[in-house]
Amino acid sequence: MKSQRSDCPVSQSLDVWGDKWSLLIIRDLMFAKQLTYGDFLKAPEGISTNILATRLLQLEEHGLIEKLDHPDSKAKVLYRLTGKGIDLVPVMIEINLWAEKYFTIPADRKAMLKEVKKDKDGFIKAGMKELRKG
Amino acid sequence: MKSQRSDCPVSQSLDVWGDKWSLLIIRDLMFAKQLTYGDFLKAPEGISTNILATRLLQLEEHGLIEKLDHPDSKAKVLYRLTGKGIDLVPVMIEINLWAEKYFTIPADRKAMLKEVKKDKDGFIKAGMKELRKG
DNA sequence: TGTTTGCACTTGCAAAACGCAAGCAAACAT
DNA sequence: ATGTTTGCTTGCGTTTTGCAAGTGCAAACA
């Protein structure tokens, strides 16, 4: 997915994160703020190591995530969302709301979405602010 | 993308429409309400015929779109969004808003997003209502 | 200080998905 | 009756995916 298929905003977006794994990586970073390579591998979907490496690189190249030195060790690498990545929070929330309506989802997610529905704009704004703090 | 990877709402959503083409098909139906097989092929991204057939079938199986008899001819088939598909409008809008911030997008889309930003909830509600009318 | 462990990737290879081109059957138009 | 349109299907080469094993460097351990 390297070249642009059209100038449609949806198409261009999909060219960046429209695959099976990228949004899951972004999801993990939205919940955790900072993760190591190994942390991503622990996600329940079970991404394989080569795919993860490729996706992390592409997301970094597209400016959605960035690498960070780990404070404890040079052997570890931290990944976090950039502003461009954080700006996907509204998309992520809407996906969750859609999924809640049509799938069976975990209780903790349901609880989160209950909060979202009380004040969607407020929830999103607060979440994004928190992510920007680091 | 046949089996469920996890019970995460994002993951489950991606299992349904998380490929390179599905959201573009849904986009086309949101703009046009009803389209024939041949109409989809005219989209600027240039989906190939076998992929289109596969995606249409999967989207129908997942209940996002449905087939409809064409009033003019038995040789033609009409596709349109179901309620489940129409409910993706908020996701689609947020994707457009994100893309507008980071990509160069066509003027007509920009004009549409200007309307969106005046009253997002109102725009979405009206758009979904219009789609439900048929 | 030598060795083992942990972490972040690479590499090899088989399987699946993709994508172009051609083909095909059922309407439909003339 | 014949040619065209429409909605797919089929073949086949290329690309992407996914599992498993391997590599290199840093830290921890003995």
Can you give the three-state secondary structure of chain A, one letter per residue?
CCCCCCCCHHHHHHHHHCCCCHHHHHHHHHHHCCEEHHHHHCCCCCCCHHHHHHHHHHHHHCCCEEEEECCCCCCCEEEEECHHHHCCHHHHHHHHHHHHHHCCCCHHHHHHHHHHHHCHHHHHHHHHHHHHHC
**Distance measured from the CA of protein residue B73 to the C1' of nucleotide D1, in angstroms:** 21
Gap from B17 CA to chain A (nearest CA, Å): 9
pTM, 2 dp? 0.96
pLDDT of B11-29, one tens digit each? 999 999 999 999 999 999 9
What is the pLDDT, as a whole number, of residue A2? 60
Question: For strand C, is any atom closer than 7 Å to the CB of A92?
Answer: no
Above pLDDT 90, what percent of chain A? 93
CB within 8 Å: B8 and A109: yes
pLDDT of B38-80, one tens digit each? 999 999 999 999 999 999 999 999 999 999 999 999 999 999 9
Q: Who among B87, B88, B99 is closest to A9 (CB)?
A: B99
Gap from A101 CA to chain B (nearest CA, Å): 9
Please give the mean pLDDT across all residues of chain B: 96
Half-sphere exposure (Cβ direction) of A37: Cα atoms closer than 13 Å? 16
Give the residue on A whose Cα is nearest the Cα of B91.
A94
What φ, ψ does residue A6 adopt, rounded to 5°?
-160, 175
Burial B96-132 (b: 16+ CB within 10 A, else e): bbbbbebbebeeebeebbeebeeebeebbeebbeebe
Q: Which 40-69 positions of B have CB less than 7 A from strand C?
A: 46-51, 54
What is the pLDDT, as a whole number, of residue A14? 98
What is the pLDDT, as a whole number, of residue B1? 46
The answer on pLDDT for B92 being more than 70 is: yes
**Distance measured from the CA of protein residue A20 to the C1' of nucleotide C27, in angstroms:** 39
Closest nucleotide relative to residue B56's CA, C1' based: D8
CA angle A125, A20, B98 (to 5 degrees): 30
Q: By C-alpha distance, which of B57, B21, B101, B37 is closest to A5?
A: B21
CB within 8 Å: B12 and A99: yes
The answer on pLDDT for B83 being more than 60 is: yes
CB within 8 Å: A18 and B18: yes
What is the pLDDT, as a whole number, of residue A3? 83
Give the residue on B whose Cα is nearest the Cα of A120.
B121
| B2 pLDDT tier (thresholds 50, 70, 90) | low
The answer to whether A20 touches A28, Cβ cutoff 8 Å, is no
pLDDT of A49-102, one tens digit each? 999 999 999 999 999 999 999 988 989 999 999 999 999 999 999 999 999 999
What φ, ψ does residue B44 adopt, rounded to 5°?
-60, -20
Other beta carbons within 10 Å of A84: 17
**Distance measured from the CA of protein residue A49 to the C1' of nucleotide D13, in angstroms:** 28
Q: Which 90-119 positions of B have CB less than 7 A from strand C?
A: none
The answer on pLDDT for A1 being more than 60 is: no
Question: For strand D, is any atom closer than 7 Å to the CB of A44?
Answer: no
